[in-house]
A and B are shown apart, each in its own frame.
Chain A
Amino acid sequence: MTIRLKINGENFDYHGDSRASLLEVLRETFRLTGSKSVCCEGFCGACIVHINGELVASCLKPVGVLEGMEITTIEGVGSIEKLNPIQQALEDHDVVQCGMCFPGMVMTFTSFFKSNPNPTRDDVKAAMSGNICRCTGYERIVDALLSIQMKGEVT
């Protein structure tokens, strides 16, 4: 059975076990390794992608239900030449440490700022409840994210 997936605007055919998680398929079949395989329980947020614009933990989504849906991974956000505002803020504030959590952080807050352009610090922290930073650099990440609001860069 072939499953047709649309990932970052490109079509991919998948022929393996349709019960496999999207995360496994992204990393092991299509070599899109930006989404990280960490807790595999939906707790850590390192594998978060957008499916039809909604935040989803890709470790918990069987690939067989995704036919016809728009999947966006960290590889589909920004570019080397032009980072998206979240990526740029994290870089500008030098908050990237080990990097495990950052793909998920970027996906979470790219979505979050679209519907919350002027968040408070508490709003940002609540939105971060599904993204665990094992380096515990939370406060500096929050500072970086709030700088986006001040600059009004995300619309």
Chain B
Amino acid sequence: MADTTGKQVIVAKNLEEALAALTNMGLSAIPVAGGTWVMRAPVRQEATAQSFVSLHAIEELKGIEATPKELVVGAMVSHRQLAIELSDMADLNAIRVAAEKSANPSVRNMATIGGNLCSTDFMSPDLVPALMVCDATIQVQSASAKTEIAIEDYIESRSVRPKNELVTRIRLPRGLFRSTHQRLMMRKAGEYPVANLSMRLSIDGDGRIADPRIAVASVENQPRRWMSLEDALRGEVASKVATKELAIDQVKEFTGRDGPDAPGWYRLRVLPRLASDALADLMGD
């Protein structure tokens, strides 16, 4: 059992209370959303010295609002809720698939979109690359300010961001795109993906690819866009074979991460296949 020397769970009733607790307690407190990353700290042999500021009771962080132009998702929306709510949205399909396929049923009930974005050391998130291709904007709030940041800027800066701010909402523009998400596991359960890739694009009247957005996770320490493949695909005739060949050419953009589940070279080797499978899925093959 963990020690009981003043460390506790503080259940914040609203956003103001959570932000005040984080500000007042400084580094001795951390926010907890679904708990699925924080509670595994002992397994990772990391210290959990802080008190937990639980966000689960904050109504402002729950729910999904839809308009014809955008979807606004509360940071405490679970993977399971996302998978259900996004069931008929072709442009945001990558997020639905990522939410529906990640982890396992009990973890999907617990893990939140906000927690996935904020788990800085988690190298294999499914939602983050899906949110990248869907051009998400992240709303963050501190006791004194509320700002919106493009997801790529948020991911790049998240490890050095103020500890007393919270992700509150995720804004997703709607459009005439299709998106998908592919992931490779060594086994069907009990581990993280070796590589995962999200893709969004549209195909014009001539069958050519327009506005491609591709993002990759698990391969390096942080998820990121695959810009060289986006550039190579833009304007090309949509073809699974050509996509795989272009992806093989462009995979050098990545430095594969060695890990206990797979060596870095293997993660790079499978990426072109994930890219071509994603394109095939978007073409309806």
Q: Which of B11, B103, B188 contacts A64 (CB 8 A)?
A: B11
Query: B105 near A: Cβ within 8 Å?
Result: yes
Kindly specify which of A55-63, A73-81, A89-97, A142-150 makes contact with the partner chain. Answer: A55-63
Residues facing B in A2-59 (CB within 8 A) are 16-21, 24, 28, 39-45, 48, 54-57, 59
Cβ B36 vs Cβ A42 within 8 A = yes
Is chain A's binding surface mostly helix, strand, loop or mixed?
Answer: mixed
Query: B262 near A: Cβ within 8 Å?
Result: no
A2, chain B: closest CB distance, angstroms: 12
Cβ B4 vs Cβ A67 within 8 A = no
Cβ B1 vs Cβ A17 within 8 A = yes
Give the distance in Å from the alpha carbon of A45 to the alpha carbon of B189 in the complex.
Answer: 11
Cβ B43 vs Cβ A28 within 8 A = no
Number of A-B contacts (CB under 8 A): 104
The number of residues on chain A lying at the interface, defined by a beta carbon within 8 Å of a beta carbon of chain B, is 37
Query: A135 near B: Cβ within 8 Å?
Result: no
Query: B23 near A: Cβ within 8 Å?
Result: no
Is chain B's binding surface mostly helix, strand, loop or mixed?
Answer: loop
Cβ B40 vs Cβ A40 within 8 A = yes
In the complex, the chain A residue whose C-beta lies closest to that of B185 is: A129
Question: B residues within 8 A CB of A57?
Answer: 36, 106-107, 110
What per-residue 1/0 map shows which CB atoms of A105-120 lie under 8 Å from chain B?
0001000100000000
Question: A residues within 8 A CB of B110?
Answer: 42, 56-57, 60-61
Give the distance in Å from the alpha carbon of A127 to the alpha carbon of B80 in the complex.
Answer: 13
Sample 14 A-B pairs with CB under 8 A, ordered by A number.
Answer: A17-B8, A19-B2, A19-B48, A24-B1, A40-B40, A42-B36, A42-B40, A43-B189, A56-B110, A64-B8, A65-B32, A108-B105, A127-B105, A132-B190
Additional A-B contacts beyond A42-B106, A48-B106, A132-B190 (5; CB < 8 A): A17-B3, A40-B42, A55-B105, A56-B109, A60-B35
